[in-house]
Structure 1
Amino acid sequence: MPLSKERQTSMRLPDRESHPVAAGVKIQAGALVVLDAGLAKPGFEATGLVSLGRAERSVDNTAGAAGERRVEVLRKRTFLYSNLEADPVVRADVGKPCFVVDDETVAKTDGTGTRSPAGRVADVDPSGVWVEF
């Protein structure tokens, strides 16, 4: 039905999302955040995860039920994460995917099928890997 009067239409910013946090989990501000079965967790090595971006604030749901807390995630940006020394991302990998090791580390490969994609490598420098989400 068409509007018959003005309304304040709700909106979301495309670079910010809020996701329910898994039970028993604490996500630190700045962490690489993933979805595991629809619930947010700090990044960890596993397959089938969906990388979201960076946690804007710390969220402690260690004593809560699944979804009791939510984490705000910043996306559509490029963030600096540590480079796994044992499987390093290099300059030749710019433009290619990198893979989640933990909530602050990425690697060049999927670890023979044990890691989920983190995002696209935007740059590599002595500080680490710039990952675009």
Structure 2
Amino acid sequence: MTALTRDRNTPRRDGVQFNDPLAAGVKIFAGSLYCLNASGYAVPGSTSTTLKARGRAEETVDNTSGAAGAATVEGRRGCFQFANSTTTDEITRADIGNECYIADDQTVAKTSATDTRSVAGVIRDVDSDGVWVEI
């Protein structure tokens, strides 16, 4: 490759909206926290150490009877409200600015539960309805 010698029409994305292929045998619900697994396929958020939080699903996609990549889900990155964990893993206002962890596809927790959960994102706010997480 060589350096440019003329103008280049460089494609761009806004960096907040994605279409990801689903893993085999999964269903992702609209509004849920979804992740990419170790193979790069979309899966619902769950307790696991190998997931990478991707965003909020913009639609419901059912690939329960399909092969990996047979369906895609539209997702969005941003700051979204998810359910707060309970008891010792409940997130409080004192945790704003810290990372939180994926408990399931709608719930985040304060701790990694001894390194058994993946990072969901950064806690931006906490209110009576849940936790605002920037993914």
Confirm whether residue 47 of structure 1 aligns to residue 53 of structure 2: no
Q: When the two structures are superposed, what TM-score results if normalisation uses the length of structure 1?
A: 0.91
Aligned-CA RMSD value? 1.7
Q: Could you tell me how far apart the structure 1 residues matched to 2:25 and 2:5 are? A: 46
Stretches of structure 1 that go unaligned for 5 or more consecutive residues are: none
Counterpart in the other structure of 1:117? 119
Residue of structure 2 equivalent to 1:88: 90
What secondary structure, in the 3-state scheme, does the structure 2 residue paired with 1:102 have? coil
Q: Normalised by the size of structure 2, how large is the TM-score?
A: 0.89
User: For residue 16 of structure 1, what is the aligned residue in structure 2?
Assistant: 17
**Sequence identity of aligned pairs in percent?**
49
For residue 127 of structure 1, the aligned residue among 117, 126, 129 is 129
Number of aligned pairs?
A: 130
The Cα of 1:10 is off from its aligned counterpart by 4.6
Q: What is the CA-CA distance between 1:69 and the residue it aligns to?
A: 0.6
1:36 maps to 2:16: no
Task: Could you tell me which runs of 5 or more consecutive residues in structure 2 were left unpaired when the two chains were aligned.
Answer: none
Distance 1:27 1:91, change over 3 A: same
- 1:97 corresponds to which letter in structure 2? E
Aligned residue identity for 2:22: V
Partner of 1:109: helix, strand, or coil? coil
Q: Structure 1 runs of 4+ off > 2 angstroms?
A: 1-4, 9-13
CA displacement at 1:13 relative to structure 2: 2.6
Shift, 1:39, TM fit = 0.8
TM-superposition CA deviations, 1:82-125 (whole Å, max 9, x none): 00113101101100000000000000000011100000000001
For residues 5 and 70 of structure 2, what CA distance do their matches in structure 1 show? 37
Q: Report the Cα distance in structure 2 between the residues aligned to 1:3 and 1:54, rounded to whole angstroms.
A: 40
Output the CA distance in 2 between the equivalents of 1:29 and 1:78: 16
Aligned partner of 2:26: which letter?
V
Question: Which residue of 2 is the match for residue 67 of structure 1?
Answer: 69
